[in-house]
Structure 1
Amino acid sequence: MEESDLTLIFKPFSTSSTPTSYIDGDRGSRSDVSTAVDQPSIAWQKSSSAQIPESPIAQSESIILGTLLQPEYLSPVIARADVIYDSDTVGLDVLKEDIGYIGEFSTYQISRRLIIRDIPRNPRRDQAVEQSIWSLHQLPGGGDGGSPQSRLLIVIVPHIVDHLTEWPFYLPDVRAFAIQIIGSRLSIHHLPRTRPVSSHAKSCTNFVIGVDLERSQRMFKRILEVLKKRFEKPNYVKRVHHDTIVPRERYQKVYQDLKAKHADRLCRIFATNGYEGKGCREVDKIFEELGIASFCISLWEDMYEIPSSARRNGYYNESVQSPGISGPLGQFVGFADLGCGSGVLTDVLLQEGWPGYGIDARSRKIWKSFDEDVQRRLTESILIPYVIDQTSTTFEPTKLCRSDQREPFYTVPGSSQTYHSGHFADGTFLICNHGDELTAWTPLLASLSQSPFIVVPCCSFNLAGRRFRAQRSLCQAEGSKLRESSKRSTYQLLIDYVESLCREIGVVPQKEWLRIPSTRNLAIIGRISSNPQGEESREIMVKEIIRREGGTEGWNAMVAKLKERERQPSGADDGHSRCS
């Protein structure tokens, strides 16, 4: 590792006393008295470099800062970076008593400063750390012999005391590091961590024992790879955008709370039912369900204007125990998890105090491991919507399900099987997470009860419960310029199809790419229609959509197969059979 040219132009800033703790507060101000004194130059080390396409200074600065503000792409243990200070917004004010200020570079001048706070994914293991990001531009005539090459220097300084022996795992184990661009050359330099030998010998420094330079080099290599890729494609636009409905900060805070509260308990439940070990698909789905629960809770707090403090203070449970009170959940009717599968999503929402229930065509052994109150709200029930044409069927349960029947659950004489009529209390929030056969039905059922809903599509089924590939003529909005259906995936066509059904019932669909560990992570959210119709008009509209889409012939046969199919001994989700 060679010495960096930055050593020649770097003038370190000294303090009369060394800080002894992490620094909080406005711009990380020091608690001790600092004085600017000349010191022997501390040697910067050149870590790595690469050739990149030459770009204007403004574009280069934007690419580098954009990368540093997205640390989740640099380290898997970081959730995000929050900007807590930006000189472009409040004006540049360089305070040399800041812990984020380490010195001057003689041929550069400061043009911008940001202070970010890195938020770890697991706050129980890692703590948040603030960092200063200094953007420095070359002074006029400050290059080598007046070289016309553009120069940019970005310096990153963690707000951590210099002589700590322990360093956050997700940060390079250095006092500071710098990203320098000279023409088409990108290089990364670092300043080793040092500490005074004694309080009387400030000019002498020793390297800190235990510094992990190998880990730092891996991080610098990763930063260089990401930057090089972004410089090669500076006009790249993301295909999907997260956090369009629920802010990322709120979602991740709820997810961290739910994960800390429920993950260990649920993993133990799955382990006792034979599902454990790294890579187990069912255990991995625990965190997918926790992510969906976090999104639903964040969405509901926004929709029903419920303060997040109500969740933290346990007010939800008071509202559930005292129906009808004007508490935090006064406007929330309840939720219905259609095709609840293993029941994890229903369990978490109930444990958090949200009223509701889950239904599935077959019960799971794992349901018996949940609390008794949760078990009572998980029902083995086959859904037969009451709007299905009953004149052409010989399947007895549909004949007993009359359109004027208001009770959602009913049974057939001589059978213990429970059926669901598709009736929901007005305003019930419907959830269909990978519901397959129920995916296309969810917007229609929501329309009948004037309910909001969320659908996370997976496999493509029509209203008759048969696999199909949605046609372009059914799912393309008039005037939109989409590729031919033959060039689009079945999954994308299914998404378009569900969106078209939403528009037909008078709901403007909203799409959110959820932050969950699944490739099928798109959620379609529908709120209550802005043009409410009478109940009879809504039923006529839904029946017309069913007729136009080919009817429901075959739904009863599919239901009969589910009823007659031998229950699998597995305890959790068994794939597509999670649907009703």
Structure 2
Amino acid sequence: MQVTDLLLENPNLNSSHLFRADILFDSTRALKTVEDKAKVHQLEGNHHETSAPENCTPPAPAGPEFQNATLRRRVLRRLIPRKPQVDSPLEQWCYIYDLIQFDDQPAGHIVVYSPQVKSEAEIPWYHPPIKAMAYLLQIQGTATTLSLHFQTFDLASSVDLPTRTHRTFISLIQTFLRLSRIPAGPAAKTDTATLQYMTPSALKDTILPQHTVQDTYSRLKQTYASDLISRWAESTDPSKHVFEDLSIAAFVIELWRQIYPPGKFPGFVDIACGNAVLSYILIQEGYHGRGFDARRRKTWQVLNMEGYLDEMICVPQPFVANLSGSTSSNAGDETSSMESLMGTTPIHNGLFPPDTFIISNHADELTPWTPLLAALSCPSSPLPFLAIPCCSHALSGAKHRYSPKSVNPSTLEPPAPSVNNGEPQSKSGDLKSLRMTKMKERDGTDDKSMYACLTRKVAAVAEEVGFEVELTLLRIPSTRNIGVVGNRKVVAKRSTKSGKSQSPPQDGTDVTQQIQRVVERECLLSGGVTEAAKMWVSRAQKLQTGMGRGKVNLGAKPQAAQHNDDSNNI
């Protein structure tokens, strides 16, 4: 019955017009209702009531009766469409029966789906125009038979079945058979060990319930999507960037609602903000913050965002201090010294005001720096952050592929310079094995892939400098879809309705020293902190002089350039 449970919660596997199904009632409590999911994800210190769809369970109608079948379970679900402005939700009772042979041995199952409507006119487009439907699984010895049965509103119409309905039934059978051949993956857990499980099933909805994020996404898409696409000024595909940023914005908004008291949001910074669509949506939704990037984008002016964005280079504070040769404890003096080195280009040292929430969305070179800058900004109370890794870089900004051994905090050693950052070759040398390797990398099931190792590296570095780290699979249209969240629970516990901290800040000396050790160790890849800092500045200068993002190979063999998102810059 695993496939039945999967399809009960995920009707989108059968219809692309659907988002999901909200479980309103389960007589066996095998599936969590939306209220149960909201309670599971609620945090201590959360002052927002977690939104959940209205759950007024009507009395269960008597299910149909079948010979030699026992009603074992009743489930009420609400089908949620992707376009609520076009299609309406639909409630559906599901009855699950056990077939019993004469010798009391199990003979199969019947699963009946009955939409709660009075006429065919009330059936939405995404649902077949039928009164009821049933899967029949019959077991006879070693043979198993799956069939699909249905009842129309007009008994005469069942003789001439519409072509579309016939295709739908065939697709339903094919999907059921396909899923029955796939072994079940690890179940999602809200306290999943971040560095052990990278499979999508283990990372889904570990931080926020699915329904809250998707409902917010639907609202944002209806409000902003058409306007953003119509005003797109970049050469890239608007639909990819707009819908991806809308999805990320929905997650971020619900995350902030979960951890901050009403009216006490401290502000955000969007580092390497690229086209700034994400910042635009968040600011339009009432959240104050700023973004910056090494290059101004056309979209900034089109969206009237220039008052919230800065064109400047981020040179992390450890590099600023190293290159300036300053012994001053004033970071501003060191930054001024760096600006004289960089000419007229504005410099930011990556240190932000206390409590600022850092967004690092496909920030490329700044991705491994994100937890370090969050901790350096306020060592006594490190800043919370969301990092969505994309392309893999060392702290120097150079392309680098992390190995699986380098991401385990318990076995971290000074990393050796990479001699080949290229894609690994299949051991067997055949195309089938190579294809399987690529598929594992794309779906996140390969813990040795470049993306998996980068994500685990960011999480490992964050844990090293004192962060409480969580991984979650973001529901965004991208293969680079794992979010690394730092100090979510810490911020929620620290916040009160008055916005004051529940406990005094701790001395950040140990954190600062640990950050220094991590930076020194990781910069050995590039010959030490000084050489890594020079490499970073050199790459930043090339961005400003129009020489592009030339790849620094750390002694590796030349490689073909790899694709980078429009939002990725130092």
Q: TM-score, normalization: structure 1?
A: 0.71
Q: What is residue 521 of structure 2 aligned with on the other side? A: 548
Q: Cα 1:215–1:407, aligned 2, differ >3 Å: closer, same or farther?
A: farther
Q: What is residue 19 of structure 1 aligned with on the other side? A: none
Q: Tell me, what secondary structure is at the counterpart of 1:229?
A: helix
State the shift of 1:342 in Å: 0.4
Q: Do the aligned residues in 2 keep the contact of 1:100 with 1:131 (CA within 8 Å)?
A: no
Q: What is residue 360 of structure 2 aligned with on the other side? A: 432
State whether structure 2 residue 240 is matched by structure 1 residue 284. yes
What pairs up with 1:394-543 in 2 under 5 angstroms? 403-406=329-332, 412=339, 416-449=344-377, 450-478=382-410, 488-527=448-487, 533-543=506-516
Deviations 1:263-285 (A, max 9, x none): 11111111xx265xxxx634311
Q: Cα 1:294–1:390, aligned 2, differ >3 Å: closer, same or farther?
A: same
Q: Tell me, what secondary structure is at the counterpart of 1:157?
A: strand
State the shift of 1:227 in Å: 1.8
User: Higher relative contact order at CA 8 Å, sep ≥6: structure 1 or structure 2?
Assistant: 2
Which of 62, 84, 95 is matched with 2:24 structurally?
A: 84
Q: Tell me, what secondary structure is at the counterpart of 1:423?
A: coil
Count of residue correspondences: 454
State the shift of 1:405 in Å: 3.2
* 100-109 vs 170-179, greater mean Cα deviation: 100-109
Unaligned runs of 5+ in 1: 1-60, 91-96, 195-204, 306-327
Deviations 1:204-255 (A, max 9, x none): x65399x973222222222212221333345554732311001111111111
Q: Tell me, what secondary structure is at the counterpart of 2:118?
A: coil
Q: Cα 1:430–1:148, aligned 2, differ >3 Å: closer, same or farther?
A: closer
Q: TM-score, normalization: structure 2?
A: 0.72
State the shift of 1:351 in Å: 0.4
Q: What is residue 253 of structure 1 aligned with on the other side? A: 215
Which of 104, 108, 112 is matched with 1:155 structurally?
A: 112
State the shift of 1:538 in Å: 3.6
Q: Cα 1:136–1:462, aligned 2, differ >3 Å: closer, same or farther?
A: same
What pairs up with 1:138-217 in 2 under 5 angstroms? 138=99, 141=102, 150-164=107-121, 167-183=123-139, 184-194=144-154, 206-207=156-157, 213-217=162-166
Q: Residues of 1 paired with 2:243 and 2:274: CA distance?
A: 15
Deviations 1:12-32 (A, max 9, x none): xxxxxxxxxxxxxxxxxxxxx
Deviations 1:306-342 (A, max 9, x none): xxxxxxxxxxxxxxxxxxxxxx232x22100000000
Q: Cα 1:264–1:468, aligned 2, differ >3 Å: closer, same or farther?
A: same
Q: What is residue 173 of structure 2 aligned with on the other side? A: 224
Unaligned runs of 5+ in 2: 31-57, 188-198, 413-417, 419-423, 425-446, 491-503, 524-528, 550-562
Q: Residues of 2 paired with 1:247 and 1:401: CA distance?
A: 49
Q: Residues of 2 paired with 1:369 and 1:559: CA distance?
A: 26
User: Which one has a larger percent helix, Structure 1 or Structure 2?
Assistant: 2
Q: What is residue 297 of structure 2 aligned with on the other side? A: 364
Q: Do the aligned residues in 2 keep the contact of 1:432 with 1:438 (CA within 8 Å)?
A: yes
Q: Do the aligned residues in 2 keep the contact of 1:362 with 1:567 (CA within 8 Å)?
A: no
Q: Residues of 1 paired with 2:319 and 2:172: CA distance?
A: 57
Q: Cα 1:212–1:274, aligned 2, differ >3 Å: closer, same or farther?
A: farther
State the shift of 1:361 in Å: 0.2
Q: Tell me, what secondary structure is at the counterpart of 2:85?
A: coil
Letter in 2 for 1:63: V
Letter in 2 for 1:345: L
State the shift of 1:536 in Å: 4.8
Q: Do the aligned residues in 1 keep the contact of 2:463 with 2:469 (CA within 8 Å)?
A: yes
State the shift of 1:472 in Å: 4.1
Q: Residues of 2 paired with 1:283 and 1:498: CA distance?
A: 29
Q: Residues of 2 paired with 1:171 and 1:578: CA distance?
A: 41
Q: Residues of 2 paired with 1:259 and 1:225: CA distance?
A: 32
Q: What is residue 565 of structure 2 aligned with on the other side? A: 575
* 228-237 vs 246-255, greater mean Cα deviation: 228-237
Identity of aligned residues (%): 30
Deviations 1:361-382 (A, max 9, x none): 00001110113xx320111010
Q: What is residue 378 of structure 1 aligned with on the other side? A: 309
